[in-house]
Structure 1
């Protein structure tokens, strides 16, 4: 089973089926707002860095909105990578409209061209990206190759604990006990979904197959360490970055996090 090819087909289908007008006004938000599409805690962290003359990248950049927002911190150049060709085309059009020096490239993240080795001062990974990789060691090997020596990796993601919860609409969801732990934290087999990406389409549909994978925090930490990427900061939050667990916000459950790390020689 080629899970990456399956996910590419499913994501491209999802973008084709997006609701009318979905994300068409991104460039207006980028022109009129300071740092749109970024959580305030991430903005706080990024303000600690000097982006002058820096090159930045986002792995799994989706429609480009987050990387384009990050460019507003003053970076010299941005490069986004994503597997879905139609979303990458959309992101490049948005970059033109927003007059941002940002290029988006369609590729399997694990196959990013070697010409980008030692290219980036910052690499960003944001919500919902890590689950599309079965082996995080392969992902962070590519991150390490693409970062310059001393380069910074920023991850702003859903918390691994959320994989133990059921979202509304799932078979094991209990509306009376929405914080009930129903899945193994150490789940190894993939999640298999055929109901589309409703946040784009605004409705469920019979879709091509998405394969995604749970990862523990030890998976993340050990894969980073194995690839000469050292964690310098970790912040955990009790708010949901997705639309799956908003009813559990501020109830003492870790739902998202920011991790900052540096590549060392």
Structure 2
């Protein structure tokens, strides 16, 4: 397979996500959030992420979410006491949804269109906390460069909080004839490619721009963070899934896989 350049992968992923937005807005989850965000204490964050953010401390802080999608998680940060929240995403279509949800909320986050590699200068060294949640790292072709730009957004002493799917899961295909057989190498370097719309559940049988998903090992992630001056202060793995329901089948096994992780890295 001929691999795309980093720039082409980012551009194609942007196009794929812009196309994807309409499918997500058709889901029952959209209406649930549309009704719920009107409440000041709205939060869609699970207990795991809420616990880590509470320990790090969000109350009274300035927070940026990198890869904010439709803004539901950015809006949830106000329930933890965030003073100011900025959500960044490269998908115009999802940012439109984020602003729609925010219009229903008593809070006033700011949403900015940018890919992480081209953060506006006014966001540099501005935030006490940066948040990355499920799925963001896999869309990044160069994890080292990604973390370099993440670090730029943090004030000295600021903390990056990551809540991500565990890279071990990329070795399995829940839709394969044998979903427990190893389908891919942990050290895979070529991206997974999808030519249908990106949806969280099921499939949409339509043609879409190719989307490129890059698997990064834990070693890749930690090394990239350390190389840009981020000091790992917390790392924990969990047996529950925080991704598509298809992966729920790997939970509660006698030989249990690590399914997701949290990590906190502080800018020195």
Of 92, 114, 124, the match for 1:85: 92
SS of 1:53's equivalent in the other structure is coil
2:46 aligned with 1:39: yes
Of 1, 7, 16, the match for 2:13: 7
How far off is 1:90 after superposition? 1.4
2:128 aligned with 1:128: no
Matches within 5 A, 1:59-74: 59-74=66-81
Q: Are the counterparts in 2 of residues 35 and 43 from structure 1 also a CA contact under 8 Å?
A: no
Per-residue CA deviation, residues 70-90 of structure 1 (Å, 9 max, x unaligned), is 221111110011111011121
- The answer for the alignment partner of 1:54 in structure 2 is 61
- The answer for the alignment partner of 1:190 in structure 2 is 191
CA RMSD of aligned residues (A): 1.8
Q: Which moved more, 1:125-134 or 1:244-253?
A: 244-253
The alignment's TM-score, normalised by the length of structure 1, stands at: 0.91
Per-residue CA deviation, residues 23-74 of structure 1 (Å, 9 max, x unaligned), is 1442422344845321211112222243333110111111111111122111
The separation in 2 between residues aligned to 1:92 and 1:19, in whole angstroms, is 13
2:77 aligned with 1:76: no
How far off is 1:214 after superposition? 0.5
2:218 aligned with 1:212: no
Matches within 5 A, 1:115-264: 115-168=122-175, 173-174=176-177, 177-199=178-200, 203-243=204-244, 244-251=246-253, 252-264=256-268
How far off is 1:185 after superposition? 0.6
Q: Are the counterparts in 2 of residues 15 and 200 from structure 1 also a CA contact under 8 Å?
A: no
- The answer for the alignment partner of 1:98 in structure 2 is 105
Q: Are the counterparts in 1 of residues 66 and 130 from structure 2 also a CA contact under 8 Å?
A: yes
How far off is 1:212 after superposition? 1.3
The separation in 1 between residues aligned to 2:116 and 2:203, in whole angstroms, is 27
Q: Are the counterparts in 1 of residues 117 and 145 from structure 2 also a CA contact under 8 Å?
A: yes
Q: Are the counterparts in 2 of residues 131 and 212 from structure 1 also a CA contact under 8 Å?
A: yes
How far off is 1:189 after superposition? 0.8
Per-residue CA deviation, residues 123-174 of structure 1 (Å, 9 max, x unaligned), is 0000011011111111110111110000011000000101101122xxxx13
The separation in 1 between residues aligned to 2:39 and 2:26, in whole angstroms, is 22
Judging changes above 3 Å, is the alpha-carbon distance between structure 1 residues 8 and 201 closer, same or farther for their aligned structure 2 residues?
farther
Structure 2 gaps, min length 5? none
- The answer for the alignment partner of 1:107 in structure 2 is 114
